Amino acid sequence: MKVIVDQDKCVASGQCVTAAMDVFDQRDEDGIVVLLTENPPESLAADVHQAAAVCPALAIVVED
Amino acid sequence: MARAAGCPFDPPPKLRELQEEAPLTKVEVFGQTAWMVTRYDDQRRLIGDPRVSSDVYKPGYPAGNRILPRQDDDTGIGFILMDDPEHARMRRMVTAPFMIKRVEAMRPQVQQIVDDLIDELLAGPKPVDLVQAFALPIPSLVICQLLGVPYEDHDFFQKNSSILLRTSASIEERTKARGNIGGYLHELMGDKLENPKDDLLSGLAERVKAGELSRKDAAGIGVLLLIAGHETTANMIALGTLALLEHPDQLAKLRDTDDPKLISSAVEELLRYLTITHQGRRRAILADIEFDGQILKAGEGLIFPNDIANRDPEMFEDPDALDITRDARRHIAFGFGVHQCLGQPLARMELQVVYGTLYRRIPTLRRAVELDEIPFKHDGGVYGVYNLPVTW
């Protein structure tokens, strides 16, 4: 599984952090997404897909 | 559109009909025609499309004569009615305080506010109006602290924002209310420029000093956040409580748990089930969009009633049932796309604290009047109840 985030699209909703806090974080100055790991373990697949689905800006792409 | 008699928590039946029979259809509304989009998937696909605009002054924006005239006064319109890139530039100036970790850091303060208000309720007379005594003060206190607005002025801005959001108020009344709040924020911004403190408005004042933002736009953002910050959450607290009182099995599950996961799940489900932003999101089409075999033309309007999208059976099984154990996290009660509610992490946290505390501390909470005596905000820009007499 590979995760790609687009910081330009991101609107800092933080819902990816709520869905998968081991994979996503927010940068301190404006809350824009920070990817903690590009290749999260399979055990987090459901959470990562949830994060991508709730991102209002469609800024997260997951390649299985 | 009207809700069915006796079903105050359900979207208007006409919307259900459209969703089943004509999910993308032209309707007459506000004296103009606009596309009504009623399915969950379609709403998500279209509202995020860069060819749609949130600018109310663009041709086709469905608002008819409900648009307030452009105000050349003390405040900008706020980024809610702007498009990118200007929208993104301004929005990013205020996203930091709504980060998940910063909102979590506020949780103990919010818990304290909720506990204190419940202490006051328990010590005071009953029945009591839950809206005035509990639902409004919580988000109002929280947003005042966050923005740096003196809470003593809450009567003033609560009254004006309530007029501004009421669809039955005249355009003159609403313009005046908008002007009142605008003038207030413009003054306050002056104070923040001179005596900055550790709050969001002072942060904006810094931007003004640095030449990144005009004082007018800073005040406009302040108006937006102040209004959005208390009306919405207050309505979710009161209407959510009423919905739970009408579903005692669900209320019991929530009252008897201290599992933060179930409490959070209940918040998501109540957001989905009630979708208090019942007027629907609206947009103007900037360039032709081919969508499922139809052409949505530039200059036409779009309406997204998110309440019916959140009851779409294709997305949520048995959508009209309130079930706090279901996974409702993909609801779009906060909207979708780049304009999605900025304050949603804060609203979610406040509701988790409220729903996780109120019914546990007052387990015998109940309505003090009949359901049909409760005035619902059918004319509100945000749905809810005007008052909710309760006892225990």
Query: What is the spatial distance between Cα B387 and Cα B392, in angstroms, rounded to a whole number?
Result: 17
Q: What is the per-residue pLDDT for B69? A: 63
**Is the predicted pLDDT of residue B266 greater than 90, yes or no?**
yes
Mean pLDDT of B32-54: 94
Q: How, if at all, do strands A24-26 and A60-63 pair?
A: unpaired
Q: Looking at beta carbons, which pairs linking B378-381 to residues 24 or more positions away fall under 8 Å?
A: B378/B2, B378/B3, B379/B166, B379/B167, B379/B168, B380/B165, B380/B166, B380/B167, B380/B235, B381/B164, B381/B165, B381/B166, B381/B167, B381/B279
With an 8 Å Cβ cutoff, is A56 touching chain B? yes
DSSP state of B151: G
Q: What is the per-residue pLDDT for B280? A: 85
According to DSSP, the residues that pair with B322 across neighbouring strands are none
Query: What is the spatial distance between Cα B365 and Cα B241, in angstroms, rounded to a whole number?
Result: 9
B 335-354 residues with CB below 8 A of A? 335-338, 340, 344-345
Extract the residue ranges of chain A whose pLDDT is less than 50: none
Q: Do B92 and A57 touch (CB under 8 A)?
A: no
Mean pLDDT of B212-223: 92
Distance from CA of A5 to the nearest CA of B (A): 15
Q: Give residue A47's identity as a one-letter amino acid code.
A: D
Give the pair of three-digit tokens for residue B39: 């399915």
Query: What is the spatial distance between Cα B61 and Cα B59, in angstroms, rounded to a whole number?
Result: 6
Q: What is the per-residue pLDDT for B265? A: 98
Best residue of A8, A9, A10, A11 to probe chain B, by most B CBs closer than 10 Å: A11
Query: What is the spatial distance between Cα B164 and Cα B301, in angstroms, rounded to a whole number?
Result: 23
Distance from CA of A33 to the nearest CA of B (A): 10
In chain B, residues with a C-beta closer than 8 Å to the C-beta of A53 are 330
Q: Do A17 and B337 touch (CB under 8 A)?
A: no
Distance from CA of B337 to the nearest CA of A (A): 5
In chain A, residues with a C-beta closer than 8 Å to the C-beta of B338 are 11, 56-57
Q: Do B329 and A56 touch (CB under 8 A)?
A: no
In chain A, residues with a C-beta closer than 8 Å to the C-beta of B212 are none
B 150-169 residues with CB below 8 A of A? none
pLDDT in tens, B187-201: 999 999 999 999 999
With an 8 Å Cβ cutoff, is A34 touching chain B? no
Helix (H) or strand (E) holding B50: none
Is-contact B182 B219, C-beta < 8 A?
yes
- Secondary structure (3-state) at B363: coil
**Is the predicted pLDDT of residue B380 greater than 60, yes or no?**
yes
DSSP state of B113: H
According to DSSP, the residues that pair with B128 across neighbouring strands are B390
In chain B, residues with a C-beta closer than 8 Å to the C-beta of A28 are 96, 99
Domains of chain A: 2-63 (3.30.70.20)
- Cβ-nearest to B340 among A13, A28, A29: A13
With an 8 Å Cβ cutoff, is A41 touching chain B? no
What rounded mean pLDDT belongs to chain B?
A: 93
- Cβ-nearest to B96 among A13, A29, A53: A29
Give the residue among B41, B23, B230 at the shortest CA–CA distance from B135.
B230
In chain B, residues with a C-beta closer than 8 Å to the C-beta of A30 are 92, 95-96
Q: What is the per-residue pLDDT for B75? A: 67
Query: What is the spatial distance between Cα A14 and Cα A64, in angstroms, rounded to a whole number?
Result: 23
Is-contact B243 B359, C-beta < 8 A?
no
Distance from CA of B54 to the nearest CA of A (A): 15
pLDDT in tens, B63-108: 865 666 666 566 677 788 889 998 999 899 999 999 999 999 999 9
b/e code B325-346 from CB counts within 10 Å (16+ = b): ebebbbbbbbbbbbbbbbbbbb
In chain A, residues with a C-beta closer than 8 Å to the C-beta of B103 are 14
Q: What is the per-residue pLDDT for B70? A: 64
Q: What is the per-residue pLDDT for A64? A: 84
Q: What is the per-residue pLDDT for B166? A: 83
With an 8 Å Cβ cutoff, is B49 touching chain A? no
Q: Do A17 and B100 touch (CB under 8 A)?
A: yes
The ipTM value here is 0.96
Is the CATH number 1.10.287.90 carried by domain B13-391? no
Q: Do A12 and B95 touch (CB under 8 A)?
A: yes
B92 → chain A, closest CA residue: A30
pLDDT in tens, B224-263: 999 888 889 999 999 999 999 999 999 999 999 999 999 9
Q: What is the per-residue pLDDT for B204? A: 95
Task: Using alpha carbons only, give the angle B344, B347, B352 rounded to the nearest 5 degrees.
Answer: 125
b/e code B158-187 from CB counts within 10 Å (16+ = b): bebbbbbbbeebeeeebeebbbbbbebbbe
Q: What is the per-residue pLDDT for B28? A: 86
B104 → chain A, closest CA residue: A18
